[in-house]
C-alpha cells in the first residue's frame, strides 16, 4: 500500500520476527482468530545478485554464467544474466561457497586505483644524465621535482587516470600536437603474497599516409610495490618510432624506419593511490545493499531500486475511499484478472481487503481467498468488513516479511496490488511465491506507472515495466502479458513460472 501527494496519513513500519527457541521457525501474533504465517528462519534458497559493471574487467570472463556453471558444476546453483545483473540461485551452503570464491577473487585483484600524473620535458639544466626507462624515488625524485617546478615544460598537467584493476583506460581528450595518450593499470600479487601496481603509459603522435602509418612517441613502463602508494615517483621515458603498412590482404606489416627525430626524454611524475569502490552496489553479491534513505524510502536497495516505506494502517480509509473505483477503474482491473469460479487466490498485502472482498464474490462458494498483511491492525479492519458483509470464503493471515506463507503448489493466482514495491525482502518473497503457484498459476503484479505525469503518486511508490520485469525474471518468472488498457494510473503484468529456473 502507498501514499499519494495529497493529504494521506501514513506511518513508517519496522517489521520484526520472533525466533522460537529450538525450532528454527519465525512467527508473529495476529488479531484474535487470525492465524499467523509461520516461516522458516532460513530461506530454502538463497540469491547471489551482482551488478556486472561493478566487476573489474579482469574478472568478467570468470564471472560469465557459463564459466561459473563449469566452476561450480558440483553445486546446486542456477546462473543467469539479466541485463547488467548476474543472478545465481541455490542452497544456502552452495551460495556461501560462491560468495567465498568471489570475495577471494576480488581480494586478488585489489581495489581501483587513481593515477595522478604530470608528463613534462626534462629540464635542460638537469644535472644527472637520465637513462631511458629509469625510475627515481625518494630524494632523487624530490630533487628532480624541485628543479622541474622551477622550469616546467608541461605536456600533460595533473590529469587523472582512474582504472579498476586490470582495466585499460584512455584519456578522452586529444592532447596538443595531436598526441594520443593511453594507459593501463594492473594490480597483481607477487609470489610472496605482496601486491604491486603495474603501469603502462604511452604518449604518441600518429600520421597515416595511404597504407602506411608512422608513430613516434614515448613509453613508460614500471611496476611499484603497494607500499610505495602515496609517494611521488619519476619515470624517464623510452622513446620509440614504429611504422606499419597495411597489405592488400588487410594484414599489418612492420617496416624499417629511418626517422631521425630527437631522442630527448620526457618524464612522468605520478602519485598512485588505492581507493575503495565508489559505492556499495552489490559489489560482493548480496541481494540487498544499504544506501541513502530518501523521504519515502527505507535506505535498502534491490536491483538498484530503493524500497519504499510501508503505508500504515491509518491509511486504510484512503484504500476504501468512495472515489477509488472511478479514479483507478478497479472494475476494469478485475476484468483483466479473468477470475474463474472455484479458484484459489492469494491477495498478498491485502490491507483493508478492498480487492479481497471482490475476489471472494467472483470465485464463488467453491473458491477460496487467502488474504495476508504484515500489519495486525489492517487484518482487524479486514476481519470486521468480512463479518459485516457475510463473506465466509476468505482466510485472513498475518504475513511475514520474507515468506508469503503459502503451501507449495497451493494457489492459482497471487494478486499484488500496489504493494510489491514496499516488500523489504522482495527476493525471498518472490521465491516463496514461485513455490506456492500451481502448474499454470500466475502472479498478477499491479503497480502505479512510473514517469507518467497523469499518475498522482509519489515516485518511490511507482515502478517501471522494465524494473519489475527485471526483478521477477531474475527470481525465476517470465512475463506472459501486460496491459494498461482502461487503467488510468496502473499497469498489470502477469508472470508465470519459468520452467528452466530452479524451483527449490
Confidence of residue 115 (pLDDT cuts 50, 70, 90): low
SS3 52: helix
Please state the separation of Cα 42 from the chain's center in Å.
Answer: 23
Model confidence at 319: pLDDT above 50: yes
Residue 295 is assigned to a structural domain of this protein: no
Q: Residue 445: what pLDDT?
A: 98
Residue 55 is assigned to a structural domain of this protein: no
Confidence of residue 218 (pLDDT cuts 50, 70, 90): confident
How many domains does the chain divide into? Answer: 2
Residue 370 is assigned to a structural domain of this protein: yes
Residue 442 burial by Cβ neighbours in a 10 Å radius (0-12, 13-18, 19+): buried
Q: Residue 313: what pLDDT?
A: 83
Residue 294: closest CA among 315, 310, 311, 309: 309
**pLDDT-wise least confident of 78-92, 357-371, 448-462:** 78-92
Q: Residue 7: what pLDDT?
A: 29
Q: Residue 38: what pLDDT?
A: 42
**pLDDT-wise least confident of 33-37, 77-81, 96-100:** 33-37
Residue 2 is assigned to a structural domain of this protein: no
Query: Contact, 383 vs 34, CB < 8 A?
Result: yes
Torsion region of 357: left, alpha or beta (phi above 0 gives left; psi -120 to 50 gives alpha)? alpha
397 and 488 part of one domain: yes
Mean pLDDT of 269-273: 65
Provide the domain limits for residue 144.
113-274
Beta-sheet strands, E only, within 331-417: 344-348, 368-373, 394-398, 411-417
247 and 335 part of one domain: no
Q: Residue 23: what pLDDT?
A: 25
Q: How far apart are CA 135 and CA 235, in angstroms?
A: 4
**Pick from 274, 291, 320: which residue ends a domain?**
274
Q: How far apart are CA 311 and CA 13, in angstroms?
A: 8
Residue 156, Cβ neighbours under 10 Å: how many? Answer: 20
Q: Residue 229: what pLDDT?
A: 61
Confidence of residue 163 (pLDDT cuts 50, 70, 90): very low
269 and 331 part of one domain: no
Model confidence at 41: pLDDT above 50: no
269 and 199 part of one domain: yes
Domain at 317, CATH number: 3.40.50.150
Q: Residue 5: what pLDDT?
A: 32
Mean pLDDT of 304-329: 92
Query: Which stretches within 394-474 are classed as H helix?
Result: 426-436, 465-474
474 and 372 part of one domain: yes
Q: Residue 171: what pLDDT?
A: 40
Q: How far apart are CA 414 and CA 422, in angstroms?
A: 16
Q: pTM for this structure?
A: 0.65
Q: Residue 22: what pLDDT?
A: 26
List CB contacts of 191: < 8 A, sequence separation 6 or more: none
Q: Residue 3: what pLDDT?
A: 34
347 and 256 part of one domain: no
Q: Residue 494: what pLDDT?
A: 98
Query: Contact, 19 vs 41, CB < 8 A?
Result: yes
Report the run of H or E that residue 96 belongs to, with start and end: helix 92-109
Q: Residue 111: what pLDDT?
A: 54
Confidence of residue 103 (pLDDT cuts 50, 70, 90): confident
Residue 349: closest CA among 405, 416, 430, 407: 416
Q: What is the DSSP string of 205-220?
A: EEEEETTEEEEEEEEE
Assign 3-class secondary structure to 229-285: CCCCEEEECEEEEEEEEECCCCCEEEECCCCCCCCCCEEEEEEEEECCCCCCCCCCC
Confidence of residue 232 (pLDDT cuts 50, 70, 90): confident
Q: Residue 357: what pLDDT?
A: 97
342 and 204 part of one domain: no
**Pick from 229, 254, 274: which residue ends a domain?**
274
Which strands sit side by side in the sheet containing 297-302, from one edge to the other? 288-290, 297-302, 305-308
* Mean pLDDT, all residues of the chain: 78
Query: Which stretches within 338-492 are classed as H helix?
Result: 354-363, 376-389, 426-436, 465-474
Q: Residue 26: what pLDDT?
A: 35
Residue 184: closest CA among 163, 198, 168: 168
371 and 480 part of one domain: yes
Q: How far apart are CA 195 and CA 407, in angstroms?
A: 52
Residue 262 is assigned to a structural domain of this protein: yes
Query: Contact, 450 vs 4, CB < 8 A?
Result: no
Confidence of residue 159 (pLDDT cuts 50, 70, 90): very low
330 and 434 part of one domain: yes
**Pick from 258, 274, 290: which residue ends a domain?**
274
> Percent of the chain beyond pLDDT 90?
44
Amino acid at each position: 500500500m502507498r501514499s499519494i501527494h495529497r493529504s494521506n496519513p501514513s506511518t513508517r513500519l519496522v517489521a520484526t520476527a520472533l525466533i522460537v527457541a529450538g525450532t528454527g521457525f519465525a512467527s508473529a501474533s495476529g488479531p484474535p482468530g487470525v492465524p499467523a504465517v509461520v516461516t522458516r528462519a532460513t530461506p530454502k534458497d538463497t540469491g547471489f545478485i551482482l551488478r556486472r559493471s561493478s566487476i573489474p574487467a579482469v574478472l568478467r570472463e570468470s564471472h560469465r554464467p557459463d564459466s561459473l556453471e563449469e566452476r561450480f558444476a558440483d553445486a546446486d546453483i542456477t546462473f543467469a544474466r539479466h541485463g547488467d545483473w548476474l543472478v545465481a540461485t541455490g542452497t544456502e551452503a552452495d551460495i556461501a561457497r560462491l560468495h567465498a570464491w568471489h570475495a577471494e577473487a576480488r581480494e586478488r585483484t585489489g581495489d581501483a586505483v587513481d593515477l595522478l600524473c604530470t608528463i613534462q620535458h626534462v629540464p635542460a639544466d638537469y644535472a644527472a644524465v637520465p637513462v631511458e626507462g629509469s625510475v627515481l624515488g625518494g630524494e632523487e625524485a624530490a630533487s628532480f621535482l624541485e628543479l622541474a617546478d622551477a622550469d616546467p615544460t608541461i605536456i600533460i598537467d595533473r590529469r587523472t587516470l582512474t582504472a579498476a584493476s586490470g582495466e585499460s583506460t584512455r584519456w578522452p581528450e586529444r592532447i596538443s600536437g595531436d598526441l594520443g595518450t593511453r594507459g593501463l593499470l594492473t594490480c597483481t600479487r607477487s609470489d610472496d603474497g605482496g601486491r604491486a601496481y603495474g603501469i603502462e603509459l604511452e604518449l604518441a603522435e600518429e600520421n597515416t599516409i595511404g597504407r602506411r602509418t608512422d608513430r613516434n612517441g614515448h613509453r613508460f613502463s614500471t611496476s611499484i610495490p603497494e607500499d610505495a602508494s602515496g609517494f611521488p615517483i619519476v619515470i624517464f621515458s623510452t622513446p620509440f618510432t614504429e611504422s606499419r603498412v597495411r597489405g592488400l590482404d588487410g594484414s599489418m606489416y612492420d617496416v624499417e624506419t629511418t626517422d631521425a627525430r630527437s631522442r630527448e626524454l620526457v618524464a612522468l611524475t605520478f602519485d598512485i593511490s588505492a581507493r575503495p569502490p565508489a559505492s556499495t552496489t552489490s559489489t560482493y553479491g548480496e541481494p540487498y545493499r544499504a544506501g541513502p534513505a530518501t523521504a519515502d524510502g527505507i535506505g535498502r536497495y534491490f536491483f538498484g531500486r530503493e524500497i519504499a516505506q510501508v503505508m500504515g494502517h491509518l491509511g486504510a480509509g484512503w484504500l476504501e475511499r468512495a472515489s477509488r473505483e472511478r479514479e483507478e477503474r478497479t472494475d476494469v482491473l478485475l476484468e483483466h484478472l479473468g477470475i474463474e469460479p472455484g479458484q484459489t487466490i492469494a491477495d498478498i498485502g491485502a490491507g483493508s481487503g478492498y480487492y479481497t472482498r471482490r475476489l471472494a464474490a467472483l470465485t464463488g462458494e467453491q473458491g477460496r481467498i487467502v488474504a495476508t498483511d504484515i500489519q495486525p491492525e489492517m487484518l482487524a479492519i479486514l476481519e470486521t468488513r468480512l463479518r459485516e458483509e457475510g463473506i465466509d470464503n476468505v482466510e485472513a493471515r498475518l504475513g511475514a516479511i520474507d515468506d508469503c506463507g503459502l503451501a507449495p503448489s497451493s494457489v492459482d493466482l497471487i494478486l499484488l496490488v500496489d504493494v510489491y514495491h514496499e516488500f523489504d525482502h522482495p527476493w525471498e518473497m518472490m521465491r516463496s511465491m514461485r513455490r506456492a503457484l500451481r502448474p499454470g498459476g500466475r502472479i498478477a503484479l499491479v503497480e502505479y506507472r512510473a514517469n507518467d505525469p497523469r499518475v498522482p503518486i509519489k515516485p518511490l511508490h511507482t515502478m517501471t515495466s522494465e524494473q519489475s520485469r527485471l526483478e521477477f525474471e531474475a527470481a525465476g518468472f517470465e512475463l506472459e502479458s501486460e496491459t494498461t488498457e482502461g487503467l488510468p494510473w496502473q499497469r498489470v503484468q502477469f508472470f508465470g513460472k519459468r520452467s528452466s529456473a530452479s524451483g527449490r
